[in-house]
Amino acid sequence: MFVCICVLCVCLTAVISRNQEGPGEMGKAVLIPKDDQEKMKELFKINQFNLMASDLIALNRSLPDVRLEGCKTKVYPDELPNTSVVIVFHNEAWSTLLRTVYSVINRSPHYLLSEVILVDDASERDFLKLTLENYVKNLEVPVKIIRMEERSGLIRARLRGAAASKGQVITFLDAHCECTLGWLEPLLARIKEDRKTVVCPIIDVISDDTFEYMAGSDMTYGGFNWKLNFRWYPVPQREMDRRKGDRTLPVRTPTMAGGLFSIDRNYFEEIGTYDAGMDIWGGENLEMSFRIWQCGGSLEIVTCSHVGHVFRKATPYTFPGGTGHVINKNNRRLAEVWMDEFKDFFYIISPGVVKVDYGDVSVRKTLRENLKCKPFSWYLENIYPDSQIPRRYYSLGEIRNVETNQCLDNMGRKENEKVGIFNCHGMGGNQRLTLRHVNSNQCLDEPSEEDKMVPTMQDCSGTRSQQWLLRNMTLGA
């Protein structure tokens, strides 16, 4: 009896003290003592995040409520569609994977959770096999584990998870996330309002070094650059105006980061799920973003929903086939199917990409026809007018003096500097110009007073000094 009570006491104290001041509680940073830092660095390499810190933090750690005040008091309909949560992983760490699962289970109303589906993309770690299977049996929400027979990449793994799911909505998460209080209801409520809206939470930052939880901003949204890299950009004024300054209203975003979103399951099918021809990692997020917008849906960041994600600086896993090859292939597939003539901008920036075999995209082109999707120019005009890709351009090529066979060349210089003149090499690169330079978003401006000969590169302003007459010129395609 005495022992029993004593054990209980210890447990109880442990629970209480952990919830208030245990490592990482309330999303605080975990600092590793000097003596352990060698070991910490070793462990960091396994997942490219501070595994030692993560392992010290409780699987159900507490987090701050980072929502806007206006979000905390919002009331959502009682009848919301339920969701399956699909989490794909390859060699994920135990603590981050389970913390993701716990945060879903502990911070979602259970009647809205159909199930959690873990899709193991052929991981090689023992603890992700039987140990994981036995562990999830004791959780309060059904957790299903699906195993890919071979390494397939996150796109085909998600497709498998989606096909096995039963919820009215499918919610995808990366395997190193933490959902915060009230994350789910606003996502589901928005889908209930409009089933063709695909919704993302605000993605908060979990530090890869300390696992500190840092609120993301409701003032950034998704875009991309000419290399087809996803990037965050400030929400433009037109979108603030559309929401009449109410920051608790969803932001219409041109693209999504890709890892964290909810979609009506029937709509997911209707709109063509994913491109199963894409391998391992990359491209699927832009592919889906373009497809949703061009084919009549919309993509939003629901600013009342916050989910954390461990952002890493490097990839911990292998890319069978080579990183560059895989990403180029995926990007080519999306450019060929969705970007019409604007794909040329991508190819010009990354000349190597056109050599990559991207397989057969006819099924995806047929999908685009069947869905009667709008052209990419419509997307640029209406959804992403602030894109770096010029919506209208006269021509793309080199500017050559036909007498001397010399070309304008930006000489690798960057901002607001003189352009140079160099022998034409026909390779594009620094000589590939629109009158807006494709690499730097700088425009050819008239020579300054001191130097009457050589034009300079200046921020594109649309003023007369940047207007040029094209005459007697051969403009390459």
Stretch that binds ligand LR7, among 149-157, 239-247, 289-297, 453-461 (CB under 6 A): 149-157
How many residues bind ligand LR7 (CB under 6 A)? The answer is 25
Window 315-334: contact mask with ligand LR7 (x via CB under 6 A): x-x-----------------
Q: Which residue is nearest to Mn ion (CB)?
A: 174
Cβ proximity to ligand LR7, 260 vs 383, nearer residue: 260
Residue 203 contact partner, candidates ligand LR7, Mn ion, none, CB within 5 to 8 A by sort of partner: ligand LR7
By the rule CB under 6 A, 280 interacts with ligand LR7: yes
> How near is the Cβ of 435 to ligand LR7 at its closest, in Å?
32
Residue 88 contact partner, candidates ligand LR7, Mn ion, none, CB within 5 to 8 A by sort of partner: ligand LR7
Window 432-451: contact mask with ligand LR7 (x via CB under 6 A): --------------------
Window 245-264: contact mask with ligand LR7 (x via CB under 6 A): ------------xxxx----
- CB contact at 8 A, 187 and 199: yes
> How near is the Cβ of 105 to Mn ion at its closest, in Å?
20
List binders of ligand LR7 among 107-126 (CB under 6 A). 121
Cβ proximity to ligand LR7, 157 vs 373, nearer residue: 157
CA 360-364-370 angle, 5° bins: 140
Cβ proximity to ligand LR7, 5 vs 314, nearer residue: 314
By the rule CB under 6 A, 88 interacts with ligand LR7: yes
Stretch that binds Mn ion, among 42-50, 169-177, 370-378, 413-421 (CB under 5 A): 169-177
Residue 157 contact partner, candidates ligand LR7, Mn ion, none, CB within 5 to 8 A by sort of partner: ligand LR7
List binders of ligand LR7 among 188-207 (CB under 6 A). 203
Cβ proximity to ligand LR7, 222 vs 297, nearer residue: 222
Q: Can you tell me which of 121, 174, 178, 445 binds Mn ion, judged by CB under 5 A? A: 174
Q: Can you tell me which of 285, 305, 434, 458 binds ligand LR7, judged by CB under 6 A? A: 285
Give the footprint of ligand LR7 on this chain (CB under 6 A): 88-90, 92, 121, 153-154, 157, 174-175, 203, 230, 257-260, 280-282, 284-285, 309, 311, 315, 317
